[in-house]
Structure 1
Amino acid sequence: MIHKKPRHFVDLYNIDSDSINQILNLAHKIKEVNNYSTKLRSKVLSMIFEKPSTRTRVSFEVGMKQLGGEVVTLDQADTQLGRGESIQDTIKVISQYADIIMYRGSDQKRLDNILSVSEVPIINGLTDISHPCQIMADIMTLQEVFASIEGLNISWIGDGNNVCNSWIEVNKHFNFNMTICTPKDFKPDMKIFKNIKKLGKKIIYSDIPEEAADNSNVIITDTWVSMGSKDTDMREKKFRKYQVNSDLMKLANDESYFMHCMPAHRGKEVTNDVIDGRKSLVFQEAQNRLHVQKAILLWCLNQDFS
């Protein structure tokens, strides 16, 4: 018997632009007309968490159930992973039971190992290198606000983390202008940055927040201290001048918006007046995680999009 190669959703660089747009178009359709309640009937999503989550866990579980499917959620305490079983053996077994797997962990190499053995589609719920589901929700949100993101000036100000890396990757599929602004010691993955730059995309690096904010349509930030980090005090000192506050937002375009994937540390990377302001999109993008992930589930399982 010949097994069809699974259709994975694991990063925003190695996926083609047609698929990106197909997923986004479906996400908008799902949000507008909720008539997909039987599309994944009898299908099972297994979610594996090696890193805690609120939004990812709830949005995937609710989304799968709204599509008519079932969900099995596992963390290290529920599996043999904490007792020494290899991730490859675990995935080989779960592939026999579930139709699709969502993995959220701290190590990109573990995701690579999963991809090497899985017989079912894998969705990257987050690794230390990337967070593609979040960026798809962000793009969907900006399409709702601006109709098109083509030509926008988008600025990332803060830590060059996994979310930042995925924002850099998504440049491959659109034509917007992006400024990445981080302390010099906290740049994003520069291999990813250089790969996008080689494609002729309009992306630049700066370590000066005021330059990055100037005439920006969208300012994005994220937490300065990732889950599990032990260098909190040092990081907060390094990032203090990268706080997104009302003074920084005033340097942006008059119609500029603020984005943050949350959880947010108020008073640290962003002030209350910005995150709670009328130009904040944080809860709209959080809601859109549900819709875009439903579209990703359908895309991975090759479901009819009509």
Structure 2
Amino acid sequence: MPITLRGRSVLTLEEFTPDELRFLLRLAADLKTEKRSGKEIPRLSRRNIALIFEKESTRTRTGFEVAAHDQGAHVTYWGPSGSHLGRRESIRDTARVLGRFYDAIEYRGRSQDAVDELAAHAGVPVYNGLTDESHPTHALGDFLTMQEFSEKPLSQVVVAYLGDGRGNVARSLAIGAAKLGVDLRIVSPPIFWPAKSFIVQVTSEARAHGGRFTVLEHVGAGVLGADFIYTAPWLGEEETGWAERIRLLAPFGVRANVMEATENPHTKFMHCLPACHDRNSEVGARIAKQFGIECMEVSDAVFQSKASIVFDQAENRMHTIKSILIATIAG
């Protein structure tokens, strides 16, 4: 039976079946080949897409803008102060207005409830470009990258995620991995483990699809045999609690010894970016000065190594976003 996602929103990966996720990944791979060969076919001519960003963005914004442009669609960008959304006008009313003008809406902000409410009332597909709970478009790009850099199918891949296992990237990665049969291990201090209910849910989903989901504290056991070591920023935009987070997460930083502990010479390193791997950014310089460390979640040596595929991973965000746009708007 053919897979049809026309008119669907992408709010989390939970509402998609494994076959639907695999369909989006196949489409993304085909679209990437088209673009690189110079033979891309615009499928979204005369479509209009609203991009609402209540939080800063580099890869999500450029991913949506370039994907839309390549496919012949037009976008309107709103930053944090660009609309009345949630301030002078309810999310419901804004959704009903934008649904009259646009063929689809992307939202990036804190509240999962906000993007869910947009989808409930817009009448057009709504895409979650990041909330505190979920980052589905990012996770799809991650799985496309894993497909490209492993000779094994995803159902045989082992991924070790080091750091805060409660974050939106870790949660979306876990849900997608469970549906695709990946062996995913969250390796972090117990204080940063996902909620027990989430662990139970994802473990059950993984078993149903031939995968595994494990949460553990021991780095050596967690990374042994891993095909991919994945990490994410330790610090959010809030400037409270930095010292304590750094202290707790320090043993889980990805250094050369962690890559070696996999005992897999082909292990690749992944990061959702931005990464604090040196002092060549405002935050990196501040961390170095305040805490006396050159890097946090990953060393510069690992980040710059041949094992690092972080920029392939970043590019693939655009290809999977493009597949979402085409599947849900063009049909």
TM-score (norm 1): 0.94
2:230 paired residue among 220, 224, 234: 220
Q: Which amino acid aligns with 1:246?
A: A
Q: Deviations over 1:199-246 (max 9, x none)?
A: 324111101222211221111000011223522111111111110000
CA drift at 1:5:
8.8
2:260 paired residue among 221, 233, 250: 250
Aligned residue number for residue 284 of structure 1: 312
Aligned equivalents of 2:163, 2:236: Cα separation in 1: 12
SS of 2:81's equivalent in the other structure is: helix
Distance 1:166 1:216, change over 3 A: same
Kept after mapping to 2: 8 A contact 1:104/1:125: yes
Query: CA RMSD of the aligned region, Å?
Result: 1.6
SS of 1:239's equivalent in the other structure is: helix
Kept after mapping to 1: 8 A contact 2:8/2:328: yes
SS of 2:148's equivalent in the other structure is: helix
Q: Deviations over 1:166-210 (max 9, x none)?
A: 111012322221111111111224433211212324111101222
Aligned equivalents of 1:192, 1:49: Cα separation in 2: 27
Aligned residue number for residue 29 of structure 2: 28
Task: Name whichever of 77-86 and 61-70 sits farther off.
Answer: 77-86
CA drift at 1:84:
3.0
Task: Name whichever of 30-39 and 152-161 sits farther off.
Answer: 30-39
Aligned residue number for residue 121 of structure 1: 125
- Over the matched positions of the two proteins, sequence identity in percent amounts to 29
Distance 1:174 1:5, change over 3 A: closer
Q: Which amino acid aligns with 2:24?
A: I
Q: Which amino acid aligns with 1:232?
A: W
Kept after mapping to 2: 8 A contact 1:76/1:82: no
2:326 paired residue among 290, 293, 298: 298
Distance 1:39 1:10, change over 3 A: same
Pairing 1:161-172 to 2, within 5 Å after superposition:
161-172=167-178
CA drift at 1:302:
4.0
Aligned equivalents of 1:59, 1:272: Cα separation in 2: 25
Distance 1:98 1:163, change over 3 A: same
Q: Provide structure 2 residue ranges, at least 5 long, that are not aligned to the other structure.
A: 278-294
Q: Which amino acid aligns with 2:62?
A: V
Aligned residue number for residue 157 of structure 1: 162
Q: Which amino acid aligns with 1:193?
A: I
Aligned residue number for residue 290 of structure 2: none
Distance 1:94 1:179, change over 3 A: same
Kept after mapping to 2: 8 A contact 1:168/1:193: no
Structure 1 runs (4+) greater than 4 angstroms displaced: none
Task: Name whichever of 45-54 and 106-115 sits farther off.
Answer: 106-115
Aligned equivalents of 1:83, 1:237: Cα separation in 2: 38
Matched, 1:7 2:8: yes
Aligned equivalents of 2:81, 2:112: Cα separation in 1: 21
Kept after mapping to 2: 8 A contact 1:102/1:122: yes
Aligned equivalents of 2:240, 2:121: Cα separation in 1: 33
Distance 1:223 1:177, change over 3 A: same
Q: Deviations over 1:263-283 (max 9, x none)?
A: 001110000011110011100
Matched, 1:109 2:137: no
Matched, 1:259 2:265: no
1:195 paired residue among 167, 192, 201: 201
SS of 1:301's equivalent in the other structure is: helix
SS of 1:150's equivalent in the other structure is: helix
TM-score (norm 2): 0.87
Kept after mapping to 2: 8 A contact 1:157/1:242: yes
2:250 paired residue among 240, 243, 248: 240
Distance 1:220 1:52, change over 3 A: same
